[in-house]
Amino acid sequence: MLTRNLFLVFALFSSFLLPAQGLLDLLEEEAASEGPEAEYVSTAFFSTRVINGQSVENPYPGDLIFIISHHFGSLNQGSYELFGIDNATIRMGFEYGVNDRLALSLGRSTWEKNFDGFFKYKLLRQQTGLREVPVTVSWFSGVYIKSERWAQPDRGYDFHHRMSYVHQVLVARKFSPGFSLQLTPAWVHKNLVPGADDPNDLFVLGAGGRMQLTPWVSFNAEYFYRFNPPQSFNTWNSFSIGFDFDTGGHVFQLHFTNSQPMFERAFLTETRGNWIDGDIYFGFNITRVFGLRKP
């Protein structure tokens, strides 16, 4: 029943965003309308992340973004661990804007000593003017390599067992200068899973939004529902809330989440924290932009 209702919500939201038009029609219209008359809608979000999840935003062409993501331990660890301050998980990454549609990224996380790389490509850009396009649509594909030592190395693991993949379609609309919404259907594939009953392919639907409070501050929230979660260990749907602060050259994001890892494969399908039990992680993202070339 819940799955059917979620699909119904997705269908209704999509029909509202894309009234009487297919994606291919919109792509053709956008290609035909490119030029001085096209007025593209920008900054649906302050950052390339909503919170943990990707947003439709890319670095500007020629810009290199250095992003540090930091999650402390859970708040319910108590005063001895200073409510999680003594424990931390970190991801550092670079994102580069190749052009006004394509972005490339490389990153490294302390969680599972994971390396990741991805590309994000804008298929469609929300615009007004000569022709109206109601949404921005981006395609995201990432690869993830777990580099920590095997707990049982004598089992004969191969390198490909360390790898997993994530593909997402990011569909966002900026309804007004102060309000944006995004839907994110995702497909996660793992070459190796811990249990015989765990699926190698997992499907997720995410939703996120931004409400601008001042010209430089916004409130963000996101939620990811898993349709077929792992069976061999307890996991929860990822839910996060936080604030973005745009200071010009930096975007500073403060948030609370039940996901300790910060790369897609892990927080989409392996979130261990439960908000009800107090498994809440305080964290932040710091984004610094470097202009490497003129667009």
| pLDDT score of 76 | 74
The rounded distance, in Å, linking the Cα atoms of 167 and 142 is 7
Expressed as residue numbers, the domain containing 127 is: 2-149+157-291
| pLDDT score of 247 | 86
Could you read off the pLDDT tens digit of each residue along the chain, which spans 295 residues? 444 444 444 444 444 445 445 555 555 555 555 555 678 888 899 999 999 999 999 999 999 999 999 998 887 767 666 666 767 899 999 999 999 999 999 999 999 999 999 999 999 999 987 788 999 999 999 999 999 988 877 777 888 999 999 999 999 999 999 999 999 999 999 999 988 889 999 999 999 999 999 999 999 999 999 999 999 889 999 999 999 999 877 889 999 999 999 999 999 999 999 999 989 999 999 999 998 876 5
E strand spans, the chain: 38-40, 63-74, 88-97, 102-109, 114-124, 127-129, 136-146, 163-176, 179-190, 201-214, 217-226, 238-246, 250-257, 281-291
> Domains in the chain: how many in total?
1
Closest C-alpha to 57, from 99, 13, 103, 14 = 103
The rounded distance, in Å, linking the Cα atoms of 140 and 91 is 19
Residue 269: CATH number of its domain: 2.40.160.40
3-state helix, strand and coil shares in percent for the chain, rounded to the nearest 5: 20, 45, 35
Amino acid at 199: P
